[in-house]
Structure 1
Amino acid sequence: MNDLQQAIEKICDNRIKEEVSARDLRIEELEKEIKYLKVLIDNLSNTNKKVDKEKLNMKESTAYLGYKSYNTLSSRIGTEGFPKRYEDGGKVYFLKEELDAWIVTLKSKE
């Protein structure tokens, strides 16, 4: 009976150790995810507040114009119908799809 009791205790101890190890691994994974999210939040916090961060973080979806180009273009054709602009450090950004749609509209008016 004593051997049986020791065997059961050993099995229970091993099972507890396995569960604790699995829990510790999951905690480590969650801590890594939290660190990543904190870095992401810091990066977003450090971006210029004037910029729509969610849209401009995907550089593939933005088009850039310098202020000089923007001012020249807007003085020639006006700003009516211009897509929404986002300003950041001397640059004017537009969402490419909106800018492309606006250009198509201009061409159709010609």
Structure 2
Amino acid sequence: MTEHLPNAMTDDPAAICDLVGQVMKAARREGIEPDEITEEVGSVFGVIFDAMQHREGSRGEGDESDKAADFAVDLLAGRLVREAGITHQEAEELIKQIGTDWDCLRREAHFLKGRH
């Protein structure tokens, strides 16, 4: 994976979402369904976030990595709240249901807001 990561270190949720989108598109081209990936690794966002933070191959303690991934998801939810005008709880629920594909999240958030 590290061969395909950008050279810059980032914890920007939007940048990581872009990488997640690229991973999912590449997987689809190879005939791999997104459900297969999430069954195997859980959160693709979390895996990429962790890889960006531990580029040299050293992986932090599980608790610290989990906290960092949770923090990144919280940042992503905050961005969704600001841009779509939904509640933080709604944003977190969308991320749980949909994943971290920014275009899908934004579309669903705007749909959700329209139902209020």
What TM-score do you get using the length of structure 2 for normalisation? Answer: 0.24
If each structure's helix is expressed as a fraction of its own residues, which one has the higher value? 2
Larger Rg: 1
If each structure's strand is expressed as a fraction of its own residues, which one has the higher value? 1
What TM-score do you get using the length of structure 1 for normalisation? Answer: 0.25
